[in-house]
Amino acid sequence: MKRIAIALTALPLVIPAALAAQQPLSAQAPAAMQAEAALQSDMIAWDFVEGITTEVGPRQAGTPAEARGREWAMNWLRQQGFANVANEPYMMDTWVRGDERATIVSPFPQPMHVTALGNTSATPAGGITAEVVQFLNYADLVAAPAGSLAGKIAFISHDMEPTQDGSGYGFAGPARWTGAGLAASKGAVATVIRSIGTDDHRNPHTGGTSFPDGVAPTPAGALSNPDADNLERMFERANGPITMNLVLTPRSLGRTESGNVVAEIVGREPSLPPVLVACHLDSWDLGTGAIDDASGCGIVAAAAKNVAAAGQPLRTITVLFAGAEETGLWGSKAYAAAHADEPIAVGLESDFGADRIWQFQSNFTESNPDLYRRIADAVAPFGVAPTSIVATGGADINIAREQNTAIIDLQQDGTRYFDLHHTPDDTLDKIDIAQLRQNVAVWTQVVGILANEREPIAR
């Protein structure tokens, strides 16, 4: 509770002047009143995040834990008054981790902290012992000659810097997304990477990886950043080869069932295409999935409920808690396929933690300037700036991209997101309740405007 108290006392530092300039509550539209109230006292999003992380915990895609998360979420949505709450099942390929150990055998024997990357194969029970070859960045691995890594372990060590917009992820991400496949194509028997994260804790960051067609999956893991630093120093000091023993024993469960949880705030005119608000319900298994992405689900559901509290909206608001995002966007793809013939008006997703929203993006800035300006004006009092950057949408709204419809991105501050992303540190205590409330307030304003917009929300 101490952390919450600190966060609340910090709130006036965020947006005092803008709030002071707002109209009195009595002069505002009902949705705006709900938004301002949410900024001060909303607990709906917190209730969701606290509940699911406490009663369910980690929700790895395709596992019984994810299924428990779906049941919990559906019960919560019904209790909150949502209509047409349902599970939409689909089948997926499921991978789970096993033993995880990395040990420098020579010349400086010592253990390292490692975690397996999703979709990789297993080592023998005793591990793989081989020479480690260092690549300071992804480009160096690309330039390595074919066959040059035969029988060796590749180590990709380029790092990631924190940024507000999360752009460092785009630079560092390929080391995880495709690094193991690239190393395997050049003969590597295994790969270790510096964790794709910005923290200095001895917590490795997991995440999925992939292998190109024709390249058999190999064992691959991520070292914590301090261990990656240590391995780099070893390369500077060693007078000969560095040898590692790597033990990773994940396994495939084959095809298992996952599902998408859907719910609605039913609008007055169901013939109008709905507003789709999305998040993903699954998480990696190392933490409890508080910031990635229980907070996103709490935010979008709280906003939809707040809009309904202001009066039945014109358009239906469809809530999508997508499943199995982390291991390959299974839920997003399944939802897009199942609802391909059901047009949506606009899609939005929250999947970047719970820190404050600072920027508003759309893909209709020029094609629908009046709506864009109304939304921009509505979120400005909460410290959110407009931009000419074109919104592309989150991972779980494939349907919006496939339908070529309107998209809004409410960009959250990602400065500390990758300290926690895909680690054991992704837990409830990392959420700042004041910033969570700012998210709910901004989402309430935006969804309230969209859900009561009679004209087409064309991109």
pLDDT tens digits, one per residue of 70-124: 999 999 999 999 999 999 999 999 999 999 999 999 999 999 999 999 999 999 9
pLDDT tens digits, one per residue of 433-442: 999 999 999 9
Banded model confidence at residue 14, pLDDT cuts 50, 70, 90: very low
Backbone angles phi, psi at 159, to 5 degrees: -110, 175
Distance, first Cα to last Cα, the chain: 44
Model pTM score: 0.92
The pLDDT value recorded for residue 459 is: 67
* Topology of the domain covering 98-249: Glucose Oxidase; domain 1 (3.50.30)
Give the whole-angstrom CA distance, residue 157 versus residue 232: 8
The pLDDT value recorded for residue 24 is: 37
The domain ranges of the chain are: 2-95+254-451, 98-249
pLDDT tens digits, one per residue of 274-324: 999 999 999 999 999 999 999 999 999 999 999 999 999 999 999 999 999
Give the whole-angstrom CA distance, residue 157 versus residue 137: 6
Give the whole-angstrom CA distance, residue 68 versus residue 52: 10
**Helix or strand holding residue 346 (H, E):** strand 346-349
Q: Are the C-beta atoms of residues 451 and 266 closer than 8 Å to each other?
A: no
pLDDT tens digits, one per residue of 335-368: 999 999 999 999 999 999 999 999 999 999 999 9
With a cut of 60, say whether residue 198 has pLDDT above it: yes
Tokens of 192: 């270790």
Q: Are the C-beta atoms of residues 219 and 130 closer than 8 Å to each other?
A: no
* Topology of the domain covering 2-95+254-451: Aminopeptidase (3.40.630)
